[in-house]
Structure 1
Amino acid sequence: MSELLDYLLQNDQNFRKARLPSLYSDFRPQRTLNPDGFAANVSAWKRGLSNAALAGRAPSKSPSRNHLTLELDDALLRALESKQFGRPLALGTVLQEALAAGEMIPLPQFLKATQSIYHKSWGSIPWAVAGWALRQVGLTGGPGDSMPKGQVVVLQNLEVVAKAFADATADRTAPFERIFSRTHFRRTLETNLIQGQKLSDADFDVLVKFLSRDKEVLVADGNTIRIRDPAETNTISQEDSAIASLKELMEDLTRQTEVLSQRVDELNVAAMDAVRRKNRVSALAALKSKKMTENNLATRHATLNQLEEVAAKIQQAADNVQLVRVMESSTGVLRSLNAQVGGADRVDAVLDDLREQMGEVDEVGNVIAEVGATVDEGEVDDEFEALLAEEHKKEEEAERVKKEAQDAKEAEETRRRLAELEKLGPMPAGIAEEEKNRPLTPVTAAANVLDNMHLEAAE
């Protein structure tokens, strides 16, 4: 099983076992017999091929995997061949649909176009015209052929990488940070776009063209790339090219110092090893090479420090330009706002009018308060005392009901205890005498009355 087919089976829900017979069949007649089924199959293939290409699983002639482009040839058909279902019979129709809809665009046409690809969708072009255009750019094939041939740009993948690019460069706001040479730009940013994977040469050209022409987030010429700022011009200046060259040189020197530092460590280890082996010649040769390497390293560090100082001054100057530009725009805004205010005299006049109107509001409020109805304080006090008396009466009644309930509960408890005592037999004389002499509480008296009534009824 090829890497491409294995990826689809493992990662795409549309390529589960139940769907494979339909996807690999010749479903072209469904265009009229079952339009929904036809659309579902075409959509599944387009999405699967786009995702597989983005993951770098599609076959490619390039040494690096293509992520933004797809090569349409027999190698693609072989990579999709299944032992059980063979080759997908309607894949050519799927690719033709994608080309006609503008979801896939021939690579030569994409790179040569001067207008944005969003300016006019291929979906609005009749297939006869689109087929002729495909043949003109080297994509052979048509409605009756098995599959078009050539290299195409996958628009869905471009959108995904453009979003990743926007996220990766969102914090690059300083002018110096937004300028790159073409090589430096690729080395700095490409690993942040597709999960650490590198772009092929074709993919990089496509991405730069897409971001500059269609998304308008880059300004690029042959060697210099600048992340676009709305306040800056849309062309690459000599200052931009100089900054880009400086940054690339600094990166190269940094890489050289790392290599030389590693070389010094290796030669030092070799010299020590030669000394342990008592090999004087090898030890001296290693030490001599180490010394020359250290001299080169010192030279590189000195040059790099000078360049870093120059870069810091350039960055400071660029920041000053941006600061002055902001101050100029702020001055214009303040001038416009002050013109709308009309000066201090107008503000004083407005405040005087405001104080006058506020005073009139207070005068009207005082007049209304004076003509309000007079309230008899005595009547208010009498009504308050009546409310207090009524509330006190309610509280007393609630207390009485609560006390009666408590007495009834205690009486019931006493009767229960007497009943338990009767079951135990006569009370001993000493305890009986003590109980007789104990003062009666209201609850005990009530219990005795109930007990006597019970005894009389028994006689």
Structure 2
Amino acid sequence: MSLIDTVLANKLFTDRRRVSLYSNFRKLKDSNIDGYEANIAAWKILLTDALDQGNFEDATAIPGGPGLLEALYDPDNGRPLALDVVIDELVADKVLIPLPIYMAEKSSIYSQGAWLTKMLNPKVVTSWVLSYTKVWDSSWKSIGPKAELGTLKKEKYISIQALETIGNAIWANLENEHGITASYTNGVFTKEMLTSLLSEVSVTKKIHNTVQTSRVLLSPTDIEVVLKYLVRDKNKLISDGQIYKVNSRNASPLITQKDIAIANLRSTILQVTDRVNGLSDQIADCDLKARNALERKNKPVAVYALKSKKLAESSQVKALDMLSNLELLVGKIDDATDQAEIVSALSSGAEILTTLNSTIGGAEKVGDLMDQLRDQADETDEIGREISSMVGRSVDEDEVESELDLMLAEERQKQLDKLPVPPTNSTHATPAKDSQEDPAIASLSDELSATSLEPRKKVLAE
């Protein structure tokens, strides 16, 4: 589908709406801000859809210049006259980034003070330093060199959304399909090796509320932009421009000589692997030629083809031996790297334990401390016992006993007062016990009677 077909299929670009969308609507910003913003939004959706549908050469960038205007040509409305305003607004809104500005940024576009975060506050005036001119520009203008109406500067504009989608998909593919984080050597590449892995990627996108998965072919511009994204913006890779490696927890922040050697070794393995595969094709081709020659009774050609086959087989055996040795070497390097990390971890652990034990003072100091704690605990117990004994001696036991007797006497008197008074005509008779009397009260009454009459009997006896 061509770009103009995408325009005609877009519901926002109806025949009536295209009249306004293709016109010089920049003046609407002052007279009809709602109409102006509606046109900007419609063009944003169109350009995003066109990028997602592969209408442009690159998968991450929208091209500016005469080519874009020509591709958007409408027989009824001509070329869009305010497309430069659309691009300028999308740049100001952080939807697009001019390619040279993106590549020239020194720090991540997500870091504080970088291009992308400068526009988070609408009051901040956006400024970029153009690396190739060293001149500060307070705003980006996409209009053509002569500022002629309906012209565009020939420049590419990176779509942040497309870059994030494709960049993250590529990283997931490198992890899952190529195991670049599985070992040290798997995560070191020459630029040529990494570029070959980035030629295409499966990307899942949401287009018009529909989730679609498709294979996306990456252009040279896409590859350069994605590599910059993974190195600078996402900090997934470390690079010096020619060698790339995974930014793991133990990785050096710089490309070392060891990294260069590993990258070259892996590059050699790929070359030998390609040679082995090429020799396999050559062997099959020679075998087919020999058989065809025999069918035609052409013995000399058959003999030549068989000799070529034998030479190719011999070369393939040597290449396979070399490949086996190289892969064995890579495996040993990974083993040594793992062992070095283990030894480093053990060494760090030993240093930590030494520091902690030194701080503690050793087992003897701990033993002395425990003895001191036991002594102090015993001393605390002894102090408690002394305090308890002092409190006990301060109480007069006789006074306590006298007070207790007085309380018992008062209690007995209360119980006696509750007893019924005996009749006057039967002073010496023992009254019959009420069958309903509480047994406990009866028992207490007997006890009190015995207690109170005993002294009187003794007096009478005397």
Q: Identify which of 156, 178, 191 aligns with 2:161.
A: 156
- Identify which of 188, 193, 218 aligns with 1:184: 193
Partner amino acid, structure 2, of 1:161: I
Q: Structure 1's 268 and 328: CA in aligned 2 closer, same or farther, altered over 3 A?
A: same
Q: Which amino acid aligns with 1:295?
A: S
Query: For residue 290 of structure 2, what is the aligned residue in structure 1?
Result: 271
TM-score with structure 2 length normalisation? 0.64
Q: Give the strand-richer structure, 1 or 2.
A: 2
Distance 1:128 1:236, change over 3 A: closer
Deviations 1:298-351 (A, max 9, x none): 2211111111111111111222233334445556777899999999969999xx
Q: Which amino acid aligns with 1:83?
A: P
Once residues 151 and 202 of structure 1 are traced to their aligned partners in structure 2, the CA distance between those partners, rounded to angstroms, is: 12
Amino acid aligned to 1:31? K
Q: Could you tell me which of 289, 311, 324 is aligned with 2:330? A: 311
Match of 2:262 in 1: 243
1:17-96 map, 5 Å: 20-58=18-56, 65-96=57-88
Higher helix share: 1
Alignment of 1:398-417 (within 5 A): none
CA contact (8 A) 1:142 1:148 kept: no
Q: Name the CA shift for 1:127/1:231 in 2 (closer, same or farther; >3 Å).
A: closer
- Residue 219 (structure 1) aligned with residue 218 (structure 2): no
CA contact (8 A) 2:66 2:154 kept: no
8 Å CA contact 1:270, 1:283 repeated in 2? yes
8 Å Cα contact 2:64-2:154 kept in structure 1: yes
* 1:6 to 2:5 alignment: yes
In the aligned structure 1, how far is the partner of 2:141 from the partner of 2:40?
A: 24
- Provide the C-alpha distance between the structure 2 equivalents of 1:13 and 1:323, rounded to a whole number of angstroms: 61
**What do the CA deviations read for 1:6-36 (whole angstroms, capped 9, x no partner)?**
34555x6645667545433433233233334
Q: For residues 343-392 of structure 1, what are the alpha-carbon distances to aligned partners after superposition, in whole Å with 9 as ceiling and x for unaligned?
A: 9969999xx9xxxxxxxxxxxxxxxxxxxxxxxxxxxxxxxxxxxxxxxx
1:104 and 2:96 correspond: yes
Instruction: Write the distance in 1 (CA, Å) between the matches of 2:50 and 2:318.
Output: 48
The verdict on how the C-alpha distance between 1:52 and 1:336 changes in structure 2, with shifts beyond 3 A counting, is farther
SS of alignment partner, residue 155 of structure 2: strand
Deviates more, 1:264-273 or 1:108-117: 108-117
Task: Check 1:189–1:319 CA distance in 2 against 1; reply closer, same or farther (3 A cut).
Answer: farther
Cα distance, 1:90 vs. partner?
2.0
> Which structure's CA Rg is the greater one?
2
Counterpart CA distance in 2 for 1:128 and 1:175 is 38
Deviation for aligned residue 1:203: 2.1
Please state whether the residue corresponding to 2:97 is helix, strand or coil.
strand
**Distance in 1, Cα, partners of 2:202 & 2:311:** 40
Shift of 1:146: 3.0
Aligned length, in residue pairs: 347
Q: CA deviation at 1:223?
A: 1.6
Give the distance between the partners of 2:53 and 2:13, measured in 1 at CA: 16
1:323 paired residue among 342, 353, 357: 342
Change (3 A) 1:176 1:126: closer
On the 8 A contact 2:189/2:245 being kept in 1, the answer is yes
Q: Please state if 1:116 is matched with 2:90.
A: no
For residues 248-293 of structure 1, what are the alpha-carbon distances to aligned partners after superposition, in whole Å with 9 as ceiling and x for unaligned?
2111221221121011111101101110110112111211221222
> Equivalents in 1 of 2:88, 2:102: separation in Å?
17
Which shifted more, 179-188 or 101-110? 101-110
After TM superposition, list the pairs within 5 Å mapping 1:333-352 onto structure 2: none
Q: Within 2, Cα distance between the matches of 1:313 and 1:114?
A: 37
Aligned to 1:439: none
Residue 167 of structure 1, aligned match among 168, 172, 177: 172
**1:96·1:148 contact (CA, 8 Å) conserved in 2?**
no
RMSD over aligned CA atoms reads 4.0
Query: Given the alignment of the two structures, is residue 203 of structure 1 paired with residue 201 of structure 2, yes or no?
Result: no
- Answer with 338-347 or 248-257: which moved more: 338-347
Residue 125 (structure 2) aligns with: 125
1:232 and 1:200 mapped to 2: Cα distance? 30
Provide, for residues 207-257 of structure 1, a one-character-per-residue CA deviation record: whole Å limited to 9, x for no partner.
212221222221111321112123322111111111111112111221221
Matched residue of 2:259: which SS? helix
- Given candidates 243, 261, 264, the residue that maps to 2:280 is 261
Task: Call closer, same or farther: CA 1:40–1:336 in 2, change over 3 Å.
Answer: farther
Q: How does 1:423-438 map to 2 (within 5 A)?
A: none
Q: Is the partner of 1:197 in helix, strand or coil?
A: strand
AA at the equivalent of 2:156: V
Q: Which amino acid aligns with 1:115?
A: S
Amino acid corresponding to residue 186 of structure 1 in structure 2 = T
Partners of 1:106 and 1:137 within 8 A in 2 = no
Moved more, 139-148 or 164-173: 139-148
Taking a change above 3 Å as real, the CA distance of residues 139 and 340 of structure 1, as seen in their structure-2 partners, is farther
SS of the equivalent of 1:29 reads: helix
Q: Which moved more, 1:255-264 or 1:42-51?
A: 42-51
- Structure 1 unaligned spans of 5+: 59-64, 353-459
